[in-house]
Chains A and B, each alone.
Chain A
Amino acid sequence: MLRVSFGEEELGDLPFLQEAGDLLVRRGYAISLSELAGGPGEPYVELGLRRARAGVIDGRLDPGILRGAPPEHRILSFVIAALIVGATGNAYAARRFALAEARHLEGLLRDRARANRGDARTLVSAIYSKVLGMRLEPVDRLIGAELFEVRLGLSGYLLLSSSLDPSKWGIVARVVDGGYVYMKLEESIRLLREGVAKHLERRVLSARVTSPPEWLVAAAAELSRELARARPAESAAPPASSGEYPPCVRSLLRRLESGENLPHFARFFLAAFLVNAGVPLDEIVAAFSRSPDFNERITRYQVEHIAGARGGKRYSVPSCAKLEALGLCARDATCDGVRSPLAYLRRRRGGGQPRAGGEEGGGRPGRRGDRIPEDEL
């Protein structure tokens, strides 16, 4: 384990570390919930309520919320926010909160890297080690025309990058040597976001209190109500149980329904399939509204882009072979002889054409350089 000592200000930004809890103890704060006297009215409790709401409802944590608060209040507000979100028992809320917190951390680390690279690299390595149990090594290695600053073990890299756009994050687009993937510091920070989000999601979901105070129960109930109001009606989304859809599509819709953050290519495929199946754009956007990182404006833009409604070409649906190669095929006996998801749909619809159509025989969607940017849908 990397030995790094953190300053108190720094720990205010890293509230999920053990060292942050130690700071609270040193400052004399009770960190068991039953001893958290006062409840609403205490500044850190108010901050926690705002923090929970910002993560779950807004999907992002405005740094302004925390600005000026002392480190121990920033730490406590995180603990309280995590407990409130955990008390909703809502996995989607937990993922959304975790992702917002991880993005917030990413922003802080990027700022740090701009200010002092060496310092930031040490801090990022420490977080990899303490939160993810992975060793991010500083290297400063010139490979061809590029200088790489850090390297991460292959299995850790694959674990963290599995949800990201393979054209940018796939190891085929990376320098891999001796079981390590070489990166720039900023890339390792982006990857860290994925790991921290998953880590926090697990923590929030397991953060259950046996007899929570009334104010916390009330805050969780209010958050749940607000979340239900904020999410588009799920009934508007295409049903995962539709027998017209091939098993790969049904599986992805089920994963979306359960609030899972789908990998990049899975989202692209699903959107392209639904567009080509003639599903109205509003319904497709509603399907993605269950994604923890959902942003309606960006999703709508991207779905319209895939549908060719923004002046470009309509994207075709990847073939079964492509889906198999990417690990997204869920073939069962009903797929017999079918070589593309759209062919499955045609067969199920009685041999007719999909309501609108385009499919590819293989290869990648779209042209190189005509790729959908990351973080879409």
Chain B
Amino acid sequence: MEGGLGEGEIEFLRTSYREYYYRHSSSLWIPPRLESREIGFLTFEGHFKRHMRAGTPGELVGAVLREVPWGIFYSVSYYEDPGNPDMDEKGWLGADLAFDIDVKDLHPACMDAHDFYACADGSVRPLSDGALPGCRRVDWVCPSCVEAGRREVLRLLDLLQRDLGVRPDSISIYYSGHRGFHVHVEDEGLRDLGREARAQIADYVSLSSYDPAFFARLLPLSEGHLGTLVGWPARVVEALRAKYGVPPTRPALEALVGGDLRAAIDAAVAAVRVRIDPQVTVDISRIFRMPTSLNEKTGMSKLPCADIIACDPLTEAAVLSEEPVKVEVSYAPKLQLKGYTYGPYRRSTLKLPGFVAAFLVSKGVAKIVKSRGGASGP
């Protein structure tokens, strides 16, 4: 949630979520090895209920329909006793390997154009003006954000498959329902890896602690050996080739950049590294948003993207009702959902499809306008 929600807004969201979960009760995504997973619910009151367990899919769906949570989470780890509140007593059995790509970390140009600060006095400040006390940042989503995330996912997939040897059928990709993508790997060979080994993988993917000397050492003396490079060294060499326009052998590069080979490699690495949140990959006690559940930041679903190229999150993840709802919008940049453009709005009262209203309400920039009978909507 972004910004405090009033009773009417919570009631609207709760009703919309209930309707979605009833309609999709038989098609909700169920975590594999459910009985060994910790389940967590974020309630509409803002409480986090962790350390729950569900023995069967029916139990999980029953709890969702009964409680209608604002967010539904499951552990990437498997435990002997997932319901035990003491993490040390849970009996860790292994964990999926998870990656989180947050578009915010990619700094696409669109972010400066649509993100903003909403201030308590009702004013709005562009991101470039910086934060002030009493103002909160509102993150927006647009097709360019999705494309930036998709490109990063494709780079991660290439690396997982070509370098780390992960089988494509053990990789699942999800749009987070907000402004990012999650990539999960269920591979028996990687399941038992502890935090330190996962930290190594996160470090490898993001090149966060690479040493330029490692790449410099591998640079061949002759052009004929450039083709023998694999993994990151091959990608770094490609970036060098693109920048300098010559086959980047060691002698050629040294002639071009003088003695500053390290700086050239640093620049090449910055161009090719995959930007993930390393803490997500390392933290095996973390609980993750459940695919097909709704994201409390937008009211959109965490969407499985079986085909990352064809996946259209801003259409497919807008799953709440299209039924028009009357809202009072304080400020909203342009929003593109399900192929239509909404806004920009400023101090507008209008009827919008339920999924658009849910997005704006979740962002804390719209209020539900109640009809005389007390119900929201037309």
Chain A residues engaging chain B, CB cutoff 8 angstroms? 141-146, 153-155, 158-159, 161-163, 166-167, 170-173, 175-180, 263, 321, 324-329, 364, 368
Q: How would residues 228 to 242 of chain B score, 1 for a CB under 8 Å from any chain A CB and 0 otherwise?
A: 111111000000000
> How many inter-chain contacts with C-beta < 8 Å in the A-B complex?
119
When distances are taken between beta carbons in the complex, the residues of chain B under 8 Å from A159 are 193, 197
Q: What are 7 sample pairs from A and B whose C-beta atoms fall under 8 A apart?
A: A145-B221, A161-B200, A170-B204, A171-B204, A175-B230, A178-B162, A326-B196
- Whose C-beta in chain A lies nearest to the C-beta of B210? A172
The 5 closest A-B pairs by CB, nearest first: A179-B165, A327-B195, A144-B218, A158-B197, A177-B230
| A141 to B225 CA separation, bound complex (whole angstroms) | 12
Q: How would residues 194 to 224 of chain B score, 1 for a CB under 8 Å from any chain A CB and 0 otherwise?
A: 1111111111100111110110011111000
Is B279 interfacial (CB 8 A cutoff)?
A: yes
- Whose C-beta in chain B lies nearest to the C-beta of A175? B231
Q: In the complex where A144-B225, A175-B218 touch, is A325 in contact with B279 (Cβ < 8 A)?
A: yes
Is B312 interfacial (CB 8 A cutoff)?
A: no
Chain B residues engaging chain A, CB cutoff 8 angstroms? 162-166, 189-190, 192-204, 207-211, 213-214, 217-221, 225-226, 228-233, 250, 278-279, 282-283
| A167 to B164 CA separation, bound complex (whole angstroms) | 19
- Whose C-beta in chain B lies nearest to the C-beta of A158? B197
| A177 to B233 CA separation, bound complex (whole angstroms) | 10
Q: In the complex where A155-B190, A170-B209 touch, is A325 in contact with B230 (Cβ < 8 A)?
A: no
Contact across chains for B218 and A171 when beta carbons are under 8 A apart:
no
Contact across chains for A145 and B162 when beta carbons are under 8 A apart:
no
When distances are taken between beta carbons in the complex, the residues of chain B under 8 Å from A180 are 165
Contact across chains for B233 and A144 when beta carbons are under 8 A apart:
yes
- Whose C-beta in chain A lies nearest to the C-beta of B233? A144
Nearest Cβ in chain B — how far from A338, in angstroms? 15
Cβ-neighbour of A325 out of B162, B202, B218, B250 (below 8 A): B202
| A325 to B165 CA separation, bound complex (whole angstroms) | 23
Cβ-neighbour of B165 out of A163, A170, A173, A178 (below 8 A): A178
Contact across chains for B194 and A146 when beta carbons are under 8 A apart:
no
Nearest Cβ in chain B — how far from A123, in angstroms? 26
When distances are taken between beta carbons in the complex, the residues of chain B under 8 Å from A179 are 164-166
Contact across chains for A173 and B211 when beta carbons are under 8 A apart:
yes
**Known contacts A155-B189, A368-B211; 7 further A-B pairs (Cβ under 8 A):** A143-B233, A144-B229, A145-B217, A154-B190, A173-B210, A179-B165, A326-B196
When distances are taken between beta carbons in the complex, the residues of chain B under 8 Å from A145 are 217-221, 225, 250
Cβ-neighbour of B225 out of A142, A155, A166, A325 (below 8 A): A142
Nearest Cβ in chain A — how far from B241, in angstroms? 14
Nearest Cβ in chain B — how far from A135, in angstroms? 12
Contact across chains for A158 and B163 when beta carbons are under 8 A apart:
no
Nearest Cβ in chain B — how far from A342, in angstroms? 20
